[in-house]
Amino acid sequence: MATQLAVTEELLAYVEDISHPEDQVLTALRTLTAELPGGPSMQVPPTEARFLTLLVQLTGASRVLEIGTFTGYSTLCMARALPEGGRLITCDISKKWTDIGAEFWERAGVADRIELRIGDAQETLAELRRTEGEGSVDLVFIDADKTGYPAYYEEAVALVRPGGLIVLDNTLFFGRVVDPAADDPDTLAIRQVNELIRADDRVETCVLPLADGVTLARRKSA
């Protein structure tokens, strides 16, 4: 079909060649992360990182919530896009990998914009609803354990303001979502959250075949 594009390694290399290049801090963090166990698959690619940066800028977001930090590459990209006085809260279950990111946040001069919350994400999100209030966030980026996606999405809808944006990564999940034989917990959870979003009249949505699938869900105004 004329509307379809086969993405090859050569085409991805071309995209990188014509895109605005990373600076040394981002390149160093991405290269280091790629050497870690599961690093290449757990870290967003540069194309998606640029997209997240633009989304923060285009929406004018000053309060960003990230669910799933890993080594903080996407965290760094979004924090850089925040306006003066902006704040990014990022949640993860362990300091093992986030300690790596913290060093690079300092090097990039954005550590003062980032608040790291370590612990069970559902508990963290529930606490944010109590302390910050519903509608207190401009943009939410979800990129964490896939079995938690349905619950994270529901919390995100409550936390994001009317007109705010929820971004979910991995919503096509290596293509497994259309494989009838794929019935592992991660794939089932991604299918579940995709159906939840499709049926949710609180949001307007768009699914992009970018990277591993990116879903945008804009909270409707009351």
More confident residue, 222 or 78: 78
pLDDT, average across residues 73-89: 97
Domains defined along the chain, listed by start:
24-219 (3.40.50.150)
Model confidence at 98: pLDDT above 90: yes
Whole-prediction pTM: 0.94
Q: Which residue is listed with tokens 């069970």?
A: 120
Q: Give the separation between CA 31 and CA 33, rounded to whole angstroms.
A: 5
pLDDT, average across residues 176-197: 97
Could you report the per-residue pLDDT of 101-120, keeping only the tens digit for each?
999 999 999 999 999 999 99
The pLDDT assigned to 42 comes to 86
Model confidence at 1: pLDDT above 80: no
pLDDT, average across residues 189-197: 98
